[in-house]
Amino acid sequence: MTQRKPAGVGFETWVERQIREAQDKGEFDDLPGAGKPLAGLSEPHDELWWVKDKVRREEGTMLPPTLQLRKEAAEARAAAGAAGTEDEVRRILGEINARITEAIRKPLSGPPLNMMPFDVEHVVREWRLSRS
């Protein structure tokens, strides 16, 4: 924890002293990106640059929980269709069905989920047909 600013010392003076002491101790040496130019300096000013950067880094995980679960359910269904064994199909659907059931019992924030757990036996039958 940092120390409290002493009475009678200007805030700027106190902060500058702490920065100088940290530099003297080498606490700023070897930071990630050291010696590299700052990204985006040549671009026009954008107040929401950090939000856009976070969304880009997170690759769309900023969806509301219900929409994220719908997306994961669609991915699970596709993975079940491409599974190599019937046990794998059942495992994949079992995992997503547990999450869907939990979301039905304890609603998530966001738009209505409007989903029911997958009918595992129906999907397994479809999987078998696609293999023959």
**pTM for this one?**
0.55
60-97 residue pLDDT tens: 556 789 989 999 999 999 999 999 999 999 999 999 99
Q: How does residue 129 score in pLDDT terms, banded at 50, 70 and 90?
A: very high
Pick from 48, 24, 53: which is nearest to 38 by CA?
A: 53
Pick from 122, 127, 129, 118: which is nearest to 83 by CA?
A: 127
Pick from 44, 64, 60: which is nearest to 107 by CA?
A: 64
CA distance 112 to 4: 48
28-64 residue pLDDT tens: 888 888 888 877 778 888 888 888 887 777 775 567 8
Question: Going by C-beta distance under 8 Å and a sequence separation of 6 or more, which residues neighbour residue 123?
Answer: 77, 80, 81, 89, 93
